[in-house]
């Protein structure tokens, strides 16, 4: 979709949970990680949360979040939809809960966030088979 401002991704975190403290309205990030030790492969990670921060946008964007296996470039999870920012000075935190994320092989994976087909940010993490 056409926009007048280029949106910027300030950060991407991978974690177990994100909560908002009702008193302070601050986000509480629980259990950040860069590696998942799978008991066996293939497997499904029961729950994974991606927290990302966007700014500098104005207008409506086609936003896409995916988890991609580096070796093949294949997305194991992908969600997409419209996203609107009215003020480029606004800083927008969004957390996405992913359920039963499938992992077929060990290796490097990427969380990729894009808008209108352009990558805004990406973060690597590793899936390894747990040793006994």
Q: For residue 6, what pLDDT is reported?
A: 84
Can you tell me the distance from the alpha carbon of 69 to that of 35, in angstroms, rounded to the nearest whole number? 14
Q: For residue 2, what pLDDT is reported?
A: 45
Kindly report, residue by residue over 18-35, the tens digit of the pLDDT: 999 999 999 999 999 999
pTM metric for this prediction:
0.91
Q: How high is the mean pLDDT of the chain?
A: 93
Tokens 């490097």 appear where?
108
Tokens 């808008």 appear where?
115
8 φ/ψ angles, rounded to the nearest 5 degrees:
-125, 135
């Amino acid at each position: 979709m056409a926009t007048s401002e280029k949106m910027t991704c300030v950060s991407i975190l991978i974690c177990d949970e994100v909560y908002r403290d009702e008193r302070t309205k601050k986000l509480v990030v629980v259990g950040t990680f860069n590696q998942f030790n799978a008991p066996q492969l293939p497997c499904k990670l029961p729950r994974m949360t991606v927290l990302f921060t966007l700014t500098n946008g104005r207008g409506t964007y086609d936003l896409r979040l995916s988890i991609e296996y580096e070796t093949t470039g294949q997305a194991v999870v992908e969600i997409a939809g419209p996203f609107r920012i009215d003020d480029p000075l606004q800083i927008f935190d969004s957390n996405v809960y992913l359920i039963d994320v499938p992992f077929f092989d060990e290796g490097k994976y990427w969380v990729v966030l894009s808008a209108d087909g352009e990558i805004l940010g990406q973060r690597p993490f590793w899936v390894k088979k747990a040793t006994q």
